[in-house]
Structure 1
């Protein structure tokens, strides 16, 4: 059994061919799709965060709105770029959204992806310390966030406060207990997956990773997951960690499915370079009739290793079509692969 969620990049474009032509469209449809996904029996509604782009950016208003409209589905991100984040303000926003959602938040965070602008985090007031690069700054922000989410007091109270304080040092409020265990790190390399395990974060592995061995993407990703779990065990954490992988999967059952994705599923992995320097392997998409799709997915070693599968969706095709895509996977593919009973 696997948890299955959707992952939306939240694109919009003022095109007659898009169902999301504005920021308002994509925000409101994201809420509606989460409601529909819960009705269908999906386990998670996850959203990507990109700055300076026609995509979802500030995640917490959306997460809170989804939390208020749903009851059971997990609500998350994959991922928030920590180069841009003030950990203190983020801890308050995350605590608020998690309390609204009834402790259903699953926050995926990371160093982030290549940007739309040069050093965009500088516009948000963040600068690496001497000897630190932007990735190091993201990890420093992350470690501070994790500390804040423990709920330990750290701030000296004013001896003449406006309102009475509880005894001792003060923490940020509102605090949501348990959120610290629901933080995930989006790792592109084996080393960062191991780092995340040592800090007690869950693992999110996307549709790309650093090409570290030249092997097929799913094999490298499965090895990354095993390295993460070994590091988790070595660190002595007592709870069981969670691991998600993302995939583009489309079961072709209608004429519209064939029109959108019927070019076939024979595409292999692709090789590219992140920021013009890091060699990365990009995993293939899957699009085929259900029977063929099932056989292809059986061979994906990383999906087999993970406990959570995030289905990337073409959000610009609208709520109704994406609900169809998700329902088709749940009913025609997931049971045959043992993801659903």
Structure 2
């Protein structure tokens, strides 16, 4: 295990039990959590993107703000729904945020998860073709354009009488951030999608659920997905080494407060259910004292196969407690997994 970061959904609620009562709270606390995670030694700060929900939705202002407050930690998303995105405008935003960060962005993108509203991307001005009822083909086309744009090659015909002098030739999207193309990840929910991801030359991001089920434990199915990705990457002949991340809900129980929140999860198991009309397998929550937790995680085949582990944090419990969860894992568990 080379990298350990956190993944926050950025929920907010006016519940009296929530430490995050508004959108402003969620955004500002997300920045503070990135700063705190860097201070305790974490490698990454990743944020979920959900539209029409009381959760984080517009990643690039947040990423740029976190970049300006940090100096080392990777900053990313998990994931941006490409059905909603104008790929050229996204390339501008991503290039700007990556330059502010000094090249630390790691952008997870995908077709997206089940939505809060029916075909919400239509409200954003994106209409899929007939025969593409869920917008999946549209998302992949947006992705193709986005990836091509990130290469930094000119494609736009310049105005013969521009407001400002142009360089010679066709013009590209600015600002351009060299190297960002290699730091794009696809959130794959199946083994076949992981193979497609490899062929496109994107890194693999795999979460706590897979939208298929073969009857084996979640971590074994995910490990197979990772191996298929690596095999397809090698077959495609890409020159660089790919990266792979997995997400997990992991809570070391080191004090009474941890026990109060997560003791009931110590016997958690995989769950199987329907997602968008297909069987899906959801990974279990890990909660235990550090020595027991290290032993359990050492048997997780997908964690062993990945280079990056993303911890889902309970952000509504506040920055201090989320930082405590991250620091507890880094201090008491991660060294046993070979981290650093």
- TM-score, normalised by the number of residues in structure 1: 0.98
Task: Please list, as runs of the form range in 1=range in 2, the aligned pairs for 1:1-341 lying within 5 A after superposition.
Answer: 1-133=1-133, 134-275=135-276, 277-340=277-340
Question: Structure 1 segments of 4 or more deviating over 4 A?
Answer: none
Aligned equivalents of 1:110, 1:194: Cα separation in 2: 14
SS at the partner of 2:80? strand
Q: How many equivalent pairs are there?
A: 339
Q: 302-311 vs 127-136, which deviates more?
A: 127-136
Q: Deviations over 1:139-165 (max 9, x none)?
A: 111011000000010000011111110
Q: 264-273 vs 54-63, which deviates more?
A: 264-273
Check the 8 A contact 2:265/2:285 in 1, yes or no.
Answer: no
SS at the partner of 1:203? strand
Structure 1, unaligned runs of 5 or more: none
Q: CA deviation at 1:130?
A: 3.3
Q: CA deviation at 1:227?
A: 0.2
Aligned equivalents of 1:282, 1:268: Cα separation in 2: 9
Aligned equivalents of 1:126, 1:278: Cα separation in 2: 25
Q: CA deviation at 1:311?
A: 0.3
Aligned equivalents of 1:125, 1:255: Cα separation in 2: 50
Q: CA deviation at 1:82?
A: 0.4
SS at the partner of 2:106? strand
Aligned equivalents of 2:76, 2:206: Cα separation in 1: 14
Q: CA deviation at 1:274?
A: 1.4
SS at the partner of 1:78? strand
Q: CA deviation at 1:191?
A: 1.1
Aligned equivalents of 1:212, 1:271: Cα separation in 2: 8
Q: CA deviation at 1:2?
A: 1.8
Q: Deviations over 1:295-341 (max 9, x none)?
A: 1111100000000000000000001111111000001001112123x
- TM-score, normalised by the number of residues in structure 2: 0.98
Q: CA deviation at 1:279?
A: 1.0
SS at the partner of 1:233? helix
Check the 8 A contact 2:83/2:126 in 1, yes or no.
Answer: yes
Aligned equivalents of 2:258, 2:231: Cα separation in 1: 40
Check the 8 A contact 2:272/2:280 in 1, yes or no.
Answer: yes
Aligned equivalents of 1:119, 1:129: Cα separation in 2: 13
SS at the partner of 1:62? helix
Q: CA deviation at 1:212?
A: 4.0
Q: Deviations over 1:198-225 (max 9, x none)?
A: 0100000000002242211100000000
Aligned equivalents of 1:87, 1:98: Cα separation in 2: 16
SS at the partner of 1:230? helix
Q: 130-139 vs 231-240, which deviates more?
A: 130-139
Aligned equivalents of 1:337, 1:72: Cα separation in 2: 22
Q: CA deviation at 1:132?
A: 3.0
Structure 2, unaligned runs of 5 or more: none
SS at the partner of 1:335? helix
